[in-house]
Amino acid sequence: MTTYGTIPAELPRPSWSMIARAREQVGSIIGPRRKWHDMIKIHSLNLPPNVNEAGRRIQTNAVFFKSNYVIVVALLLFLTLLLHPVSLIIIAVIMGAWLLQYILRDNPLSIYGFVIDRTTIITVLTLFTIAVFFLTDVMNNIMTGFLFGFTVVLLHGLFRTTDDLSAGDEKGVNGSQC
């Protein structure tokens, strides 16, 4: 007696290892996220006394709150793009194309028996992305969002005093809470 295909008791779970690896790599590049409470201390905000102090504050805060600043800029960029839903859809399509054709693909792309190498895929995706950005107003919307985000980050770095910050302070590192 033979059985033609049995149904497994459990369905295989999706592999999240790629997402975990990407998160670790991004985390190692931009560093640990600091507590939001430490970043937004009202009593630590004041005008710098001179230009040299202003530059030092911006540099120190940029190093200390680098991960938080990346989150703030990304959030403000997203909120800016919400005001332009067509731009958001175009960016989602481009990101999907990059994810499906380059990042998530393990095997080489084959169309009608012709194998297309990764260099060709990167070139086509890059040209497609540049063409779409410049032929639509997506680039203007992205630049507006980035400039708005960088302005907010620059103002925070300028006004936030650095007296209570230390680069080696590990109790200020918080990777799990918002």
Q: What is the pLDDT of residues 120-170, one digit of tens each?
A: 888 988 999 999 888 888 888 889 999 999 999 999 999 888 877 764 554
Tell me the per-residue pLDDT of 55-110, one tens digit each, with 9 for 90 and over: 998 998 888 888 889 989 999 988 988 888 888 888 889 888 888 877 666 677 77
First vs last C-alpha separation in the chain: 58
- Specify if 42 maps to a domain: yes
**Number of independent structural domains in the chain:** 1
Q: How far apart are CA 166 and CA 164, in angstroms?
A: 7
Model pTM?
Answer: 0.64
Torsion sign across C-alpha atoms 58, 60, 61, 66 = positive
- Specify if 55 maps to a domain: yes
- Specify if 49 maps to a domain: yes
Query: Looking at the DSSP assignment, which residues form a beta bridge with residue 116?
Result: 109
- Specify if 174 maps to a domain: no
- Specify if 167 maps to a domain: no
Q: What is the DSSP string of 88-148?
A: HHHHHHHHHHHIIIIIS--SPEEETTEEE-HHHHHHHHHHHHHHHHHHSTHHHHHHHHHHH
- Specify if 137 maps to a domain: yes
Contacts of 80 (CB under 8 A, 6+ apart): 141, 144, 145, 148
- Specify if 11 maps to a domain: no
In the numeric block, the tokens 């999907």 are attached to 96
Query: Within a 13 Å sphere around the CA of 50, how many CA atoms are in the beta-carbon half?
Result: 2
Confidence label for 43 from pLDDT (cuts 50, 70 and 90): confident
Domain extent at residue 122: 18-159
Q: How far apart are CA 140 and CA 12, in angstroms?
A: 44
Contacts of 98 (CB under 8 A, 6+ apart): 125, 129
- Specify if 175 maps to a domain: no
Total residues found in the chain within this entry: 178
Least confident residue range of 20-34, 42-56, 106-120: 20-34
